[in-house]
Structure 1
Amino acid sequence: MSETLRGGVIGAGVFGGHHARQYARLPSVTFAGVYDTHPDRAAKVAMLLGGRAFADLEHLLEVVDVVTVASPATHHADQALAAIAAGKHVYIEKPIAIGVAEAEKVRAAAARAGVVVACGHQERVVFQAMGLLDVPEQPLLLEALRHGPPSERSRDVSAVLDLMVHDIDLCLAIAASEPVTAEAEGVRGPDGVWDMVRAEASFESGFTAILDVSRQAETRRRTMRIVYPSGEVEIDFMARTFRNTTPYPLNADFADTPAATDPLGTSVEGFLQAVRGLAPRPVVTPDEAIAALDLAIAVEQALEDAP
């Protein structure tokens, strides 16, 4: 692998712009450009950062070593498969796909091609910065609330695949057992997509996760409470503070760490380290992304089955 990697982005929306800036800022990466089905959008992102706007995905893939898929979720799997077929390493924004079968095709194709695939559940790096991934005790309960105001972003998927999948991944990161049941209730938006969802998942160990998300809230709120046998951790992610009554030392200054100030940057750099062979894996692997997707789809199915 060359010392300098050529990076590109598929999708010129909000997250595509974030990823383009990550590639443009890193001294060991040359930002090649952006592909979008709307060339004007691609040009708006690319020109500000010294890259090219591509109207054809194949042409972008010809000039990159690594590529981020930051298009709408319904296109993630197909575009990732195209990149893998071209021999490119791929960072896929969450969710990895909108169906488990599609995601498994991505995982299998990457294994055959010998390329690195990472998924953008970058909030794991915040958990790591806090020390929560190192707590040597299994949680009993996790309650997460993630509310935000209406937005036109990610209307191609439900609030489960847009918002809740983040907290599902965090649950799986600290749980040492598999989920066994999922129940849910929710409210659809005007376009028929689930916008407000409350779900409860139970795990083999007895761990329970209660997850509440909304894309129709008046204000942005994000909190979490984790109950362990020895105490509790209450987190306010907006204020970047927490209260810890467990005996385990968490990092009270986590908000000042690079991971917390720029979790996307930390995740992208982890992906590039794995591509260069300097890290054994990216922050979130396809296996982990598929596990989160699987439980998210179980929640969506519970919504459809609810009376």
Structure 2
Amino acid sequence: MSSEAGAGNLRTAVIGVGYLGRFHAQKYRQIEGSQLVAVVDANAEAAQRVATELGVEASTDYLAILDRVDAISIAVPTPLHHAVAMAALERGVHVLVEKPIATTVVQAREMVAAAAQRGCVLQVGHLERFNPAIVAAVSKLQTPRFVESHRLAPFKQRGTDVSVVLDLMIHDIDLIQELVGQPIESIDAVGAQVFSGEIDIVNARIRFRGGCVANTTASRVSLKQERKIRIFQDDAYLSIDMQQKILTVIRKKDAAPVESPAQVAIEEESYDQGDALRDEIAAFLKAIREKSAPVVTGEDGLRALETATRITELVLASPSGRTVSPGPAT
């Protein structure tokens, strides 16, 4: 690759400029300290359209640009994540890869190992980590006892190259594991195919060491759109609307008489919609410059994929689901 990018602009590129990749390219073009060199897509027309919009080079061959950049975003279909990331990491190029990190746990482990070997930043695009309501909730968390999440969306053809577990639920898997901070002891899961050839709706119950239980549902066959997570702990109940960017904290009032019905104090805060993708990319570039760990590491992406893989295996093994201990995933 390139010169080490501690000073001056980081030379960047986006591999895959479909629906989401186009937004990545726009952010790299806008962020100070990023010099967007090229956009790449197997569809020459798509690549040229985004390149013309942003005034940069278009290419259909990602291998042709890797020696001219310091960092890339990978927004190609999930089955291609591993091949593109490995080619970049082996050349010493820093990688921000859209979630899920890869299709299989074996692929993800290879990516994490390659990044460590070459001293590259490998960040995974779990965008909800940059949601302002989630960021605000972290400071109010103590020891979660029960977590409930719902991620619902109407059916769209985009994303159906993978199951709803890898398409939608993996966002909440990553959040829940990060917020609980304990190893998983067991998982129950049920799900079904509805409109696509992959699993379209799933419910999983995850039990953690220390006693916390998380109940998470993801559906891409719903009539409404919803992204909510509720966290119960000893002193409070937190409700986070990730779509509307609203955090509600409900606590028992200290002054409530013991013999009377519990009186509660409700705090609700709304946050600006902001630009989570811009924040995510800015954090990626900052980690490169500072030679520090990114907000969402390759190991985080691997951990989320391991859990998602176990949930998928449970659903495929039995329509009614079953319990599994968290042994090695493959």
3-state SS of paired residue (1:294): helix
Aligned to 1:296: 308
Kept in 1: contact 2:250–2:266 (CA 8 A): no
Q: For the Cα contact (< 8 Å) 1:183–1:199, is it kept in 2?
A: yes
Q: Which amino acid aligns with 2:299?
A: D
Residue 254 of structure 1 and its aligned partner are, at CA, apart by 5.6
Q: Is the 8 A contact 1:130 1:252 kept in 2?
A: no
Q: Which has the larger radius of gyration?
A: 2
Cα-to-partner distance string for 1:174-229 (whole Å, 9 max, x where unaligned): 11211121111112134320111111111111111111111111221122211111
Question: Aligned equivalents of 1:263 and 1:147: distance in 2?
Answer: 20
Question: Is 2:188 aligned against 1:183?
Answer: yes
Give the 3 Å change call, closer, same or farther, for CA 242–209 of structure 1 in structure 2: same
Indicate the residue corresponding to 2:286 in structure 1: 273
- The equivalences for 1:78-117 within 5 A come to 78-117=83-122
Across the aligned residues of Structure 1 and Structure 2, the Cα RMSD in angstroms comes to 2.0
Contact 2:96-2:284 at 8 Å conserved across structures: yes
* Identical-pair percentage: 32
| 2:276 is aligned with 1:263 | yes
Gaps of 5+ in 2: 253-264, 320-330
Letter in 1 for 2:297: T
Greater displacement, 20-29 / 217-226 = 217-226
SS in 2 for 1:273: helix
- TM-score, length-normalised on structure 1? 0.93
Measured against aligned partners, the alpha-carbon deviations of 1:138-197 in whole angstroms (never above 9, x if no partner) come to 101111111111112112110000100000011011112111211111121343201111
- Listed as ranges, the matches of 1:199-214 within 5 Å are 199-214=204-219
CA contact (8 A) 2:230 2:240 kept: yes
1:123 aligned counterpart, secondary structure: helix
Task: Tell me the amino acid that sits aligned with residue 93 of structure 1.
Answer: E
Alignment of 1:5-20 (within 5 A): 5-20=10-25
For 1:217, the equivalent position in structure 2 comes to 222
2: CA distance, partners of 1:115 / 1:274: 10
What's the secondary structure of 2:131's corresponding residue? helix
Aligned residue in 2 for 1:229: 234
Give the Cα–Cα distance (whole angstroms) in 1 for the partners of residues 234 and 302 of structure 2: 29
Return the match for 2:164 from 149, 159, 164: 159
Deviations 1:231-252 (A, max 9, x none): 20112223322321148x9995
Distance 1:299 1:81, change over 3 A: same
Matched residues, number = 302
Contact 1:92 1:118 (8 Å CA) reproduced: yes
1:285 aligns with 2:270: no
Q: 2:28 corresponds to which residue? A: 23
1:106-134 CA-to-partner distances (Å, cap 9, x unmatched) read 01111111111101012112267643223
Letter matched to residue 63 of structure 1: R
What is the TM-score with the length of structure 2 in the denominator?
0.86
